[in-house]
Amino acid sequence: MGLLSYMMDRNRRGEVHTRFHYDDNGDRIIIERFQDVEPIFKNNNEMKLVDDGYTQDRSMRRVARIPNVIYEKILKGDPGKNNGWDMLAAENGERLLQLLDDPDYAKFRTAEGRVAHVPRRHYFKGSSGKMESRPVRPMVIVKPVTDVPDD
C-alpha cells in the first residue's frame, strides 16, 4: 500500500507538530516533528533592534530564543551517534554559550555581542585548600520558546 500519514494535532502557529507515517512496505512507523521557526527568528531579529537585552538593573541579560524543534534536535543528536546533549542542563552551560556564539546559530540570538569567553575570577577556597574559579557574569537564562507573538 505504501506510505500512510496521519497528523496528530491542530495546526496552530508556532507550535511543534507531530506527524506519524506508516510504511507497510518496511513495516515501520516514522515520527516526524516540525515547527514553523521563521516567526521566532523574525521576532529574535526584531528584539536585537530594540535594546541590548539587559534588564533595567542590568543584573540579567536576554540572549536567545530557541525553537522547541531545535532543542529536540540537539537533545537527540545525530542518528547513529551518541552525541546528543541537553542545552538546559547546568553542566552544559559553557557549551550552550559557545553554540550561541557560532555564526550558524545567529538566528537564535536576541541581543548583539558575544556570550562565551567570559572572564573568570580565581580564588582560594579555604575549606578544600584548592584554587577554584567561577565566571564573572550575570546569570543567563535560556529556554525553548513555544509562544510566538501575533503580528
Q: 7: Cβ–Cβ under 8 A, 6 or more apart, which residues?
A: 17, 18, 19
Dig out the grid coordinates for 62 from the structure. 536576554
Q: Which of 93, 94, 91, 97 is nearest to 109 (CA)?
A: 97
**pLDDT at residue 151, as a whole number:** 56
Q: Which pLDDT belongs to residue 1?
A: 38
Amino acid of residue 63:
V
Please give the biggest Cα pair distance in the chain: 71
Length reported for the chain: 151
Q: Which residues pair with 58 in a beta bridge?
A: none
Place of cell 535594546: 51
**Which amino acid is located at 61 in the chain?**
R
Instruction: Of 65, 94, 88, give the one whose Cα is nearest residue 75.
Output: 88
Q: What is the pLDDT along the chain (151 residues), one digit of tens a residue?
A: 345 555 555 555 567 888 888 888 878 888 888 888 899 999 999 999 988 888 888 888 888 999 999 999 999 988 777 789 999 898 998 889 888 988 899 999 999 888 875 556 666 677 777 777 665 555 555 666 666 666 5
